[in-house]
Amino acid sequence: MSTNKKITLKDAISIGIGGMVGGGIFAVLGLAVSLAKGGTPISFLFAGILALITSYSYVNLSKKYPDRGGTVKFINQGFGKTVFSGAINNLLWVSYIVMLSLYASAFGSYAPNLWEITQNKTVDFHIYASAIILLATAINYYSIAVVGKIEAYAVIIKLIILIGFIGIGAYGLIGNPNLAQLSATNWESPLKLFAGGMIIFVAYEGFELIANAAPDIENPEKNISKAYYFSVIFVILLYIIIALVTVGSLPFEDIAKAKDYVLAEAAKPMLGKVGFTIITIAALISTFSAINASLYGGSKVNYEIAEDDELSHHFLAKLWGQPIGLMITAIATLVLVNLLNLESISTAGSVGFILIFGIVNYVGYKLAAQMKTNKIIPLFGFILCALALIILIKQQVSDNLTGVMVSIGIILFCFIVEWIYKKSETSKK
């Protein structure tokens, strides 16, 4: 983006909302219901509160250290360019790859409902999930401007459809016997509700994209805080209402059967096959636009890390006019989406982002005196992220050991790669 073109408050809010309401809600809603049952809206609220508290640290860091590197720069500001900061920044890049595979997984689950290729849903899933990554990679190589245009239109389309779903869905709840599923008797234990919120935390991570736009936001002193808080609060309310409508519309067994495309299934009681098709199309547009934008964002993060000497300078090389990280990001996404199931992908993404946000909260606490800001809120955010990680991992060890092993493996991998890189750089000097 050229330095003379300023981002308005409306555009900054769109970046935050677009980053959060990507493919996340379409991918993880069924997973949330399977874990929290009637308490699903509470799970989304728990995850949203964690995002809102963390956004306080992001607001202050974005104002004090505005930089297109966003999260990468904040972590370096707090810890210097060490093995630790390098590993966490690499984890941010890998977490983008995990998010990409989550979006591709959602695309692969929704698409066969419109057009079956082989009459085998599993085969179709892999075909669609892989094809959409390849298409988005080709678009990213063709033109970054096209990526921006797709994202701008997609944000409007998906919000119109989701708000329409809420409006019609809320009307359809009148007299619906499934409304009783929302009563507290159908809620899981508070600990399980919290764990459920943490597994689907990936649906909120996109607000951090505002940090990358901070240097270009007009009237930053006022607009940066408004952009973060408005977008996070709006998305919390949106997700809670979507969860209320979904759980109130369908019996739990129907939600379980259609877990990977539950939002489309939830439109059926009100609008029949037409509603199912409209929401399926919205899911495909949303997940496709999210893949497009995240591929671009992921390759930028990778480039920033290499520029900051926390990854080999080979990553600064260009391939067909784009950073080589774009191709590596795409290939890694293809591997992940074809190897792991949705719950493992969601767990790995949530673990990665909760850890990263915990560290950003710690940086917010550590640099509070320099920024002349409140110390208590970021400290509380840091403690809450630490608790969230412990509860999430403890719950998933019994339910989804693969997801936990993948998450821990990714974190260790990032630390080992950074340690080897730093060691090799030191030996050259």
Residue 217 backbone dihedrals phi, psi, to 5 degrees: -80, 130
Mean pLDDT across the chain? 91
Residue 2 has pLDDT above 50, yes or no: no
Look at residue 3 in the predicted model and tell me its pLDDT.
44
- Tens-digit pLDDT profile for residues 58-86: 999 999 999 988 999 999 999 999 999 99
- Tens-digit pLDDT profile for residues 247-290: 999 999 999 999 889 999 999 888 899 999 999 998 999 898 88
Instruction: Give the H/E segment covering residue 318.
Output: strand 318-319
The burial class, CB within 10 Å (0-12 / 13-18 / 19+), for 2 is exposed
Share of the chain above pLDDT 70, in %: 98
What CATH architecture does domain 9-424 belong to? Up-down Bundle (1.20)
Report the range out of 283-297, 305-319, 347-361 with the highest average pLDDT. Answer: 347-361
Look at residue 313 in the predicted model and tell me its pLDDT.
83
Q: What type of residue is 320? A: W
Provide the whole-model pTM: 0.92
Report the range out of 308-312, 323-327, 338-342 with the highest average pLDDT. Answer: 338-342
Lowest mean pLDDT among 60-69, 153-162, 193-202, 355-364: 153-162
Average pLDDT over residues 165-185: 88
Separation CA 387–CA 422 (nearest Å):
31
The burial class, CB within 10 Å (0-12 / 13-18 / 19+), for 376 is exposed
How many distinct helices (H) and strands (E) make up the chain? 18, 2
Look at residue 25 in the predicted model and tell me its pLDDT.
87
- Tens-digit pLDDT profile for residues 199-230: 999 999 989 989 988 999 999 999 999 999 99
Q: What type of residue is 6? A: K
Query: What ranges in 21-143 are assigned the alpha helix state H?
Result: 24-36, 40-64, 71-79, 83-110, 121-142
Report the range out of 82-86, 145-149, 209-213, 303-307 with the highest average pLDDT. Answer: 82-86
Residue 385: band (very low, low, confident or very high) from pLDDT cuts 50, 70, 90: very high
Lowest mean pLDDT among 252-256, 269-273, 328-332, 366-370: 269-273
Residue 1 has pLDDT above 70, yes or no: no
Residue 187 has pLDDT above 90, yes or no: yes
- Residue pair 340/101 in contact (Cβ under 8 Å)? The answer is yes
Nearest alpha-carbon partner for 334 in 104, 110, 108, 122: 104
Q: How many CB atoms are closer than 10 A to CB 76? A: 24
Look at residue 290 in the predicted model and tell me its pLDDT.
85
Residue 379: band (very low, low, confident or very high) from pLDDT cuts 50, 70, 90: very high
Residue 149 has pLDDT above 80, yes or no: no
Share of the chain above pLDDT 90, in %: 66
Average pLDDT over residues 356-382: 97
